[in-house]
Amino acid sequence: MSNTKISTGHLTQLTAYEARRALEAGDITSADLVSAYIARITERDADVGAWQHFDADRALAEARASDEMRRDGAAMPPLAGIPVGVKDVIDTEDFPTELGSEVFAGRRPKDNAFVVSALEAAGAIILGKTVTTELAFFGPGKTRNPRDLARTPGGSSSGSAAAVADDQVPLALGTQTAGSVIRPASYCGVIGFKPTFGYTSRTGVLAQSAPLDTIGGYARSVHDVALLFDCISMFDAGDAAMREETKPSLLAALESSDLSPPRLAFVKTPAWPQGDEEMRTAFEAFTGKLGITETPLPAEFDEILRLQQIVQFSDIARNYGPIADANPDRVSAKLKEIIAEGRTFTQAQYTAARTKQNALYALLRPMLTEYDAIVTPAAQGVAPVGLASTGSPMFNGLWTYLEMPCISLPLLEAGGLPIGVQLVGARGDDACLLRASAWLMEQQT
């Protein structure tokens, strides 16, 4: 045990990386840590509404069991005793998984999703299920933005982003098919990471669009992101998008040597004109301060936002259409509208849009060879006022479509509200992206 004493009030401010070190040193117990988060949730969640299902007694019992194992000298896994939230489209055998839809109220999966089993194997304590929008699409849930309760937290990983941003949990899982991890991270002022497509298993996760769906997560530091994804990204033969290959440790990449200034390209996507003026002004000032000049995209990218929609909306029509047809009074008008639009696309259009994923990515390869990461906005501006919508994924969907890893860093503000800086990396080079992100975060401290 070290001589460091961490106050109870400070426990919910620790990053997961810091909490792990404190647990290893004997400065805190998991019961201390979990109790602090339970108190925070009790204090705040009536206002924020980040949790769909939460079990304080179960979490505290698991924390005490983890502490007992540590006292007995057992070898402890990487996330031992650290609480995590799980988006409510990811199956859990110990909690309902209701998919943000009254159609699935009370649904109880028989098995954990692959990533939940991986979390438990890593010693994590599942605090509960975080709120998702309806079927991880646009229909908002009850969650409010902790930075301003009158504003949306974004979607669809609303509860996960809000819970981490409001110090109710240090880590949380989300999912992204267009902008469902990155946009809420920007709005709530927290780090959100979507790895390369196929990096993490989707077995036991709601399927919206198989060519796009990706597990992502939220954290307070880039080291936390690396720790989390090192624990959940092992190969799963049950997910056809995954490749059986050894991934380098993301945490080791961050710790292996001093961080050096990355080569960054400033990209204005086709969505740039639709961004708020204050966001564009703040972003250009930020890139100017770093000495980053704009690198234009090829003209072929002008159609990319629509290509992403063709894939996503077609798959929504295919996967969610039968649900809406069977339950017309229990799904939102917006979802029915998108299903109808998705049904207008032909198989030829869908196939062409899928083919262009790799073709357009190939056009980016020269830029990705010259630069370590692309710098681009994470959202159109600060979180919109009101809870009737969750904002637009226009600044995110093209990178998801291109299967590239993305991260939103809480580096900008406008009017006291956060605006995320999105970094985008080459496929499979998630470690390089995190190193660039960690360097950029260090410059702001």
Active site residues: 87, 156, 180
Collapsing DSSP to helix, strand or coil, 127 comes out as strand
Contact status, residue 193 vs residue 217, Cβ threshold 8 Å: yes
Which residue pairs, CB below 8 angstroms and at least 24 apart, start in 353-358? 353/307, 353/308, 353/310, 353/311, 354/211, 354/311, 356/307, 357/211, 357/307, 357/311, 357/401, 357/402, 357/403
d(CA 141, CA 153): 10
DSSP notation for 234-303:
---TT-TT----PPPPHHHHHHSS---PPPEEE---TTGGGS-HHHHHHHHHHHHHHTPPB-PPPGGGGG
Between helix 222-232 and helix 16-25 the angle, nearest 10°, is 80
Q: Name 412's bridge partners.
A: 419
At position 346, the amino acid (one-letter code) is T
d(CA 390, CA 133): 9
Give which of 386, 427, 433 is closest to 409, Cα–Cα: 433
Contact status, residue 339 vs residue 111, Cβ threshold 8 Å: no
Question: CA 142, 148, 150, 154 torsion: positive or negative?
Answer: negative
d(CA 57, CA 153): 28
Write the CB contacts of 284 (distance below 8 Å, at least 6 apart in sequence). Answer: none
Phi-psi category of 291—alpha, beta or left, where left has phi over 0 and alpha has psi -120 to 50?
left
